[in-house]
C-alpha cells in the first residue's frame, strides 16, 4: 500500500462508510437479499459500539480517508478465567485491499485492545470454506480444535 494504514476505533461519523463493509461481510456469509439482516439489527449493532455499558467494540481500517476494513469484538466472562475473554466476532476487508495486510493489521489492533483490557485469551471462528482467511489465521493464531454447534431458537 502506498500510504499509511490506520487502525482505529470506529467513530459515529463513520456510519456511511462502515455500512457497505458490514453489508459486504454479511453478503459473504449469505446474509443478503431475502436473508439480509433486518435494519433494526444493523442499527442496534451500530449503537452498541458507542454505549460504554456494552461489551461490544469495533475497530476500522482507514486508508487515504476511506474505510477498507472492520473488526467487531466482544468481551465476555468465562468459566475458566477470572478476567473476561475477547471474541473477535466479525472481520472483513474491502476486496480491493485483500492480501495487503489489512486483515492482519485489524487482528493486531484487536490483540492490542485485548492486552489493554487484560484479557487472557482472544479467539474467533470462521467458516470451514474460508480458505483464504485461514491462510492468515494459521500465521497469527493457533487452531483450537473445537467445532461449533448451534441451534436457532
Structure confidence at residue 1 (pLDDT): 46
Within a domain: 96: yes
Within a domain: 145: no
Sign of the torsion formed by the C-alpha atoms of 11, 46, 66 and 104: positive
Structure confidence at residue 2 (pLDDT): 56
CB 60 within 8 A of CB 69: yes
Reduced to 3 states (helix: H, G, I; strand: E, B; else coil), residue 30 is coil
Structure confidence at residue 89 (pLDDT): 97
Grid cell digits, residue 37: 439482516
Within a domain: 95: yes
Within a domain: 51: yes
Within a domain: 147: no
Within a domain: 82: yes
Closest CA to 126 of 87, 69, 79, 85: 87
Q: What is the CATH number of the domain that holds 22?
A: 3.40.630.30
Domain count, the chain: 1
Q: Over 51-115, what HEC string results?
A: CCCCCEEEEEEEECCEEEEEEEEEEECCCCCCCCEEEEEEEEECHHHCCCCHHHHHHHHHHHHHH
Structure confidence at residue 67 (pLDDT): 98
Within a domain: 153: no
Is the model's pLDDT at 22 over the cut of 50? yes
pLDDT in tens, 68-102: 999 999 999 999 999 999 999 999 999 999 999 99
Closest CA to 141 of 116, 113, 107: 107
Within a domain: 150: no
Is the model's pLDDT at 8 over the cut of 50? yes
Q: Find the domain containing 76 and state its range.
A: 5-140
Amino acid at each position: 500500500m502506498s500510504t499509511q494504514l490506520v487502525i482505529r476505533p470506529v467513530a459515529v461519523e463513520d456510519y456511511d462508510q462502515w455500512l457497505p463493509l458490514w453489508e459486504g461481510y454479511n453478503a459473504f456469509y449469505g446474509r443478503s437479499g431475502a436473508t439480509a439482516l433486518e435494519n433494526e439489527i444493523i442499527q442496534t449493532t451500530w449503537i452498541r459500539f458507542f454505549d460504554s455499558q456494552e461489551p461490544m467494540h469495533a475497530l476500522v481500517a482507514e486508508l487515504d480517508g476511506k474505510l477498507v476494513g472492520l473488526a467487531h469484538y466482544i468481551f465476555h466472562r468465562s468459566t475458566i478465567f477470572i478476567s473476561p475473554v475477547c471474541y473477535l466476532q466479525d472481520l472483513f476487508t474491502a476486496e480491493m485491499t485483500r492480501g495487503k495486510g489489512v486483515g492482519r493489521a485489524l487482528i493486531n489492533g484487536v490483540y492490542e485492545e485485548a492486552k489493554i483490557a487484560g484479557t487472557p485469551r482472544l479467539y474467533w471462528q470462521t467458516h470451514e470454506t474460508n480458505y483464504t482467511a485461514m491462510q492468515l489465521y494459521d500465521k497469527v493464531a493457533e487452531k483450537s480444535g473445537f467445532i461449533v454447534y448451534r441451534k436457532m431458537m
